[in-house]
Amino acid sequence: MVSMKDISVRCGVSVATISKALNDHTDIGEDTRLHIKKVAKEMGYFPNSSARALKTNRTFNLGVLFADESNSGLTHDYFANVLDSFKVTAEEQGYDITFLNCNKKRKNKMSYLEHSMYRGLDGVVIACVDFYDPEVVELIESKLPVVTIDHLFNNRIAIMSDNVKGMRDLVQYVYDQGHRKIAYIHGADSAVTKSRLASFYKTTEELGLTIPEEYMKEVAYRDTVQAGIKTEELLALKNPPTCILYADDFSALGGMNVIKLKELHIPEDVSIAGYDGINIANLLEPKLTTIKQDTKTMGKTAAEKLISLIEKPKSTIVQPITIEGTLVEGKSVRSI
């Protein structure tokens, strides 16, 4: 491995001068700095991350804690897009990414905090986990810089999708199309679900609608099978809904399959709408009406705020940040 001492011998200058040139110090000449960098590159020099960590007390390594209940991993379109944007932004600012081990059956099991300390992580972003897991709470309550996505903790920065406005916009749109019998197959209990449910009830109340209890169904997010079963239950009602809202676009796909198996047509016989705006929503026939979440801005903001917590801890304001989504008018909601 090429060292700075090797470069100093080749260039005929001190190791201190080599260090200054490679770290872009301004107290050496521009020609000297460029020459040293050129020689270093030719010799195959790479800075040692361990040495940099000792010098700066930072590893320039960010952790990602991500484990959804459906075990879809990075095939989970919504969170995969958020984390991809997070990764791109972090790498642009010189940081590497390490995924924390979420396998509960792993050998030599360490807690999330222990794993973070073992890896020497400068900070962690947390998304799509059981936020009430004692290990997650331990990490949240530690001194390690942390940013959460779609879940709010006291004294922590949270990047939140505007679920209240998103659901309000969706219900208002369906109402404006003439629908009054609106069902909602919502997700399982979580902070996101609570926000969307509250917004659904508040918006329908303001619009003067009364939603029967049998119109409200619960399924796990991304569960196409259960979403299909609940759709069948709604369609079998004596007074079925004219429009069904789903917890996410994948759930809507499950409902769509059941509707078509019953030889019903979307939106002529029943209208549907999803949530998230994942790529598959554009490929469905008919094109799905949905709320497209701004995953790029969410991931970018999460990375910027986490790095700010690490580099400027005294001046970084700790507060929740809400990112608005956009209503995508597909062809799955008919005008009555």
pLDDT for residue 16: 83
Record the tokens describing residue 134, joined without a space.
Answer: 């004692």
String of DSSP letters for 227-283: HHHHHHHHHTSSS--SEEEESSHHHHHHHHHHHHHTT--TTTT-EEE-SB--THHHH
CATH topology of domain 163-293: Rossmann fold (3.40.50)
String of DSSP letters for 191-219: HHHHHHHHHHHHHHHHTT----GGGEEE-
Segments making up each domain of the chain, as ranges: 4-47, 61-161+296-324, 163-293
Collect the ranges in the chain with pLDDT lower than 70. 47-58, 68-76, 101-108
pLDDT for residue 333: 96
123-139 pLDDT per residue, tens: 999 987 888 889 999 99
230 in Cβ contact with 206 (< 8 Å): no
Record the tokens describing residue 288, joined without a space.
Answer: 């799905």
Among candidates 227, 270, 235, which has minimal Cα distance to 251?
227
pTM for the predicted model, two decimal places: 0.78
Distance of alpha carbon 90 from alpha carbon 238, whole angstroms: 54
Secondary structure of residue 271 in the 3-state scheme: strand
pLDDT for residue 156: 92
CB atoms within 10 A of CB 93: 12
CATH topology of domain 4-47: 434 Repressor (Amino-terminal Domain) (1.10.260)
Record the tokens describing residue 159, joined without a space.
Answer: 């990047």
What phi-psi label fits residue 11: left (phi over 0), alpha (psi between -120 and 50 degrees) or beta?
alpha
Residue whose pair of structure tokens reads 């919502």 in the numeric block: 186
Distance of alpha carbon 200 from alpha carbon 170, whole angstroms: 9
CB atoms within 10 A of CB 61: 18
Q: Does 163-293 match 61-161+296-324 at the fold level?
A: yes
265-286 pLDDT per residue, tens: 999 999 999 999 888 777 888 9
pLDDT for residue 84: 92
pLDDT for residue 128: 79
pLDDT for residue 105: 58
pLDDT for residue 259: 96
Superfamily in which the 61-161+296-324 domain is placed by CATH: Response regulator (3.40.50.2300)
What torsion do the CA atoms of 8, 14, 19, 20 make, to the nearest 10 degrees? Answer: -130
Distance of alpha carbon 222 from alpha carbon 206, whole angstroms: 29
